[in-house]
Amino acid sequence: MIEMEISIWMATKERWVHLVKKIFLPVVPRVGEFMKFHSKQMGDYFSWEVSEITYRESGVIEVWTELLDNVDDRLYSFEEESEFDEYYNAYLSEGWTSPKGIRENTQYKTRQNA
C-alpha cells in the first residue's frame, strides 16, 4: 500500500474549502481517473476526478482532484449552503482537515461581476 496526500475541493456560490487527508491506496491513480471516499454519514456518492499527481522529493505523493461537481465550469459544487455544511462536517468527522478553513468564493463572484 502506498500512502498519498489527497486534496479535494468543494464550493458554493459563497464559500469554498480545500480538504486534505493521508490515505493508503494499492496504486497511484492517473490523471483523469475518478476516486470515491467513504463517509459513514454521507456514503460514497461523489466521484472526484484526479487532476494532478505530484511526486515530492521527500517521497510524498500528492493527489489533487477537480472541484466537486463543477458542471460546465460553474465554479461551485452545491446550490445550498446547508448541503455544503453537511458534507464539510461529514468529511471532517472522517479525518479530513481543512488547513486554510472555509474561504469566500471570490472566483465565482468575480465571474458574475465581469
Note the pLDDT tens digit of each residue in 63-84: 999 887 776 677 778 889 999 9
Residue 51 binned pLDDT confidence (cut-offs 50, 70, 90) = very high
In the predicted model, is pLDDT for residue 26 greater than 90? Answer: yes
Looking at residue 78, its pLDDT comes to 87
pLDDT of residue 72: 67
Residue 41 has pLDDT above 90, yes or no: no
Q: E strands along 1-114, which residues?
A: 2-11, 15-25, 34-35, 48-55, 61-67, 103-104
pTM of the model: 0.87
Instruction: Determine how β-strand 34-35 pairs with β-strand 15-25.
Output: unpaired
Separation of alpha carbons 61 and 23, rounded Å:
10
**pLDDT score of 112:** 76
Confidence at residue 70, expressed as pLDDT on a 0 to 100 scale: 72
For residue 58, give Cα distances in angstroms to 7, 27, 64: 18, 18, 17
Q: Residue range 5-33: average pLDDT?
A: 95
